[in-house]
Amino acid sequence: MKEYLKAQNKTNEIIVGNMIKPDELGRLSRSDSRWADNRKKSFQHRTIKKGEIYQFEFGKNYIPEMSYEHRGLVIGVKQKLLYVLPIFSYDLKKHTDVYHPVDFPSSKSDMFLLKSSDFSFISHDSVLKLNDIRTVSINRILYQQDGRIDPASDTYKQIESLALIKYFPGFFHDYEQDKKSIESLNDQIAALADDKKNLEQENEKLKAEIEALQSKLKSSMNN
């Protein structure tokens, strides 16, 4: 109880001293209320799939981690744990360096620009935070957003690859090298198969010529 009162006093000092903006105070309060209401609740019973977008309560976190209520793209599901990339509004003045496959293809930014003109389910341009994968409980879901990014699409595959590069550059490099090695071996196997096929065709051709010569020779001997 003593530690709790101490923590509350510190929070109140921040509020009284105007060290927290009213908007954040509201989000912080809602976050605490949701935690108090839901911390003991049973797990939500719903099927979550990769590529789906939900509104999440990320809770209180340190900068630059994502905090409070935001959208998130599900990139992995492990029982009642979800792996999520946060989505938030794009600010041209604030986000001066973003990645986009067409507009900014050379950028190495940790933020992937989702243009409203490319995705019908967002009303304004947003950014996907590639370097802040969150492992969250299914109970952090507030509601499902309209639309999804198809895991089979080039956009989703690129998002997933870029996230892997951000988190596991060494692993991704080895993976790409192994992938190239496998492709090279498959090409060699295909070439050998073609050579075998060509040899078999040449062999059949020679057999036919031999049979034709033998038939001609036999006919000459009979005459």
**Minimal CA–CA distance to 133: which of 106, 112, 154?**
112
- Name which of 145, 168, 146, 165 is nearest 157 in CA terms: 165
20-29, 147-156, 175-184: least confident range: 175-184
Q: What are phi and psi of 76, to 5 degrees?
A: -170, 150
Q: Centre a 10 Å sphere on the Cβ of residue 74 and count the other Cβ atoms it contains.
A: 22
Is pLDDT of 174 > 70?
no
* Residue 75 predicted with pLDDT over 70: yes
pLDDT for 26 equals 81
Using DSSP, state whether 90 is helix, strand or coil. coil
Q: Cα separation of 128 and 111, whole Å?
A: 5
Confidence of residue 136 (pLDDT cuts 50, 70, 90): very high
Residue type, 175: Y
Rounded CA-CA distance 160/74 in Å is 10
Task: Examine the pLDDT at 171 and tell me if it is beyond 70.
Answer: no
Write the CA distances from 84 to 16, 87, 123, 131, integer angstroms: 35, 9, 21, 11
Q: Give the pLDDT score at 30.
A: 87
Question: What pLDDT digit, counting tens, does each position of 148-169 carry?
Answer: 899 999 999 999 989 888 877 6
Q: What is the pLDDT of residues 82-134, one digit of tens each?
A: 999 999 889 888 888 999 999 899 998 999 999 988 888 888 999 999 988 98
Least confident of 23-27, 55-59, 89-93, 172-176: 172-176
The one-letter amino acid code at 146 reads D
Inter-CA distances, 194 with 16, 191, 197, 200, Å: 79, 5, 5, 10
Residue 9 in this model has a pLDDT that exceeds 90: no
CA distance 116 to 54: 17
* Res 151: pLDDT: 93
Q: What is the pLDDT of residue 130?
A: 92
Residue 223 pLDDT: 60
Q: Is the pTM of this model over 0.75?
A: no
pLDDT band (50, 70, 90) for residue 172: low
Rounded to 5°, angle at Cα 77 from 136 and 139: 40
